[in-house]
Chains A and B, each alone.
Chain A
């Protein structure tokens, strides 16, 4: 079956611009996660959605980052007023049980 998909694959933006990253989880998965992977760093948790519960936003690095999940499926991660340190690979994962399945990521470069 289809895995987690993310778009765009790559995004180049200028400092100060807003960006939106999209994640389509595996059909039927109730949980959705966003992580960030910077060069030389491990995966860093950003935000977690579980069903209709309030999202766990404890990993968001600043108020410039936000995310929503519409209809319990597709999610959008928004970064406002991007900074050069936001350059990273943004990974989305979904799960039904304990195991999380990852998408291919969006590579964001802020110039």
Chain B
């Protein structure tokens, strides 16, 4: 059964304190691993797609990496505006839909 597990459930950081969020997955025939950001009361906002182990992508203070079993979202020198829930999802095999983890709620304090 395809599955996505994110950790930690919640993370509190001080502004400037770098850290990483983890996404562990099991899927038959990975067709893509996706990271989204979700602010309260809004829909998920697309951040990155990773397709194969070893791939990395960056956007501002965020960097996503992928191995055969997990993905990391590294946050460098975060700012309060980075506070949000970060969602990881996979698409595998012949599926059209994404399978989501429950997310990591990130709070960055000034």
Contacts and interface: CB of A to CB of B under 8 A. Distances in A.
B100 A99 contact: no
A50 B102 contact: no
A98 B46 contact: no
Contact of A45 (B32, B46, B97, B102): B97
B21 to A, nearest CB: 15
B53 interface: no
Interface residues of B, number: 22
A48 B31 CA distance: 17
A56 B96 contact: yes
A43 B46 contact: no
Contacts, number: 55
A8 interface: no
A99 B35 CA distance: 10
Given A42-B102, A91-B44, A104-B43, A99 B49 contact: yes
Contacts of B99: 45
A35 B45 CA distance: 14
A48 B97 contact: yes
B90 to A, nearest CB: 11
Nearest to A92: B43
Among B46, B96, B101: residue with most chain A CB under 10 A: B96
27 contacts: A4-B43, A33-B97, A33-B98, A35-B97, A35-B100, A40-B102, A42-B100, A42-B101, A42-B103, A43-B87, A43-B100, A45-B97, A45-B99, A48-B96, A48-B97, A56-B97, A91-B44, A98-B31, A98-B91, A99-B34, A100-B46, A101-B46, A102-B44, A102-B45, A104-B42, A104-B43, A105-B42
Given A91-B44, A98-B49, A100-B34, 13 more contacts: A31-B96, A42-B100, A48-B96, A48-B97, A56-B96, A56-B97, A91-B43, A99-B32, A99-B49, A100-B46, A102-B36, A102-B45, A104-B43
